[in-house]
């Protein structure tokens, strides 16, 4: 059973698509930035991998914000 935590309604329902795109391309982008800055490949890869967590953090923040707004409006 799928949890309905409000993620599907973010960004007018487009968040699920945007998240997939970000999760695929953000690490590559971050890796390329650090690689271009001549940072060691392994360190670049670790930072690139960690950048995915930013998406999850952002998602949780937005859901929390939306829930608080909904509570205030009640």
Interface with other proteins (CB under 8 A): 11-12, 14, 17-18, 21, 25, 29, 32-33, 35-37
Q: Are 50 and 34 in contact (CB under 8 A)?
A: no
DSSP 32: H
The 8-class DSSP code of residue 14 comes to T
Least distance (Å) from other proteins to the CB of residue 71? Answer: 27
CB of 18 to other proteins, least distance (A): 7
Q: Which two tokens mark 45?
A: 């890869």
Of 12 and 74, the one with the shorter C-beta distance to other proteins is 12
Residue with tokens 């935590």: 5
Q: Which of 16/56 has CB closer to other proteins?
A: 16
**φ and ψ at residue 40, rounded to 5 degrees:** -55, 145
* Residue with smaller CB distance to other proteins, 14 or 46: 14
């Amino acid at each position: 059973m799928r949890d309905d935590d409000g993620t599907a309604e973010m960004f007018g329902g487009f968040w699920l698509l945007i998240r997939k795109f970000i999760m695929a391309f953000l690490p590559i982008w971050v890796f390329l930035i650090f690689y271009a800055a001549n940072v060691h490949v392994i360190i670049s890869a670790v930072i690139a991998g960690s950048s995915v967590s930013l998406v999850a953090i952002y998602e949780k923040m937005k859901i929390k914000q939306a829930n608080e707004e909904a509570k205030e409006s009640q």
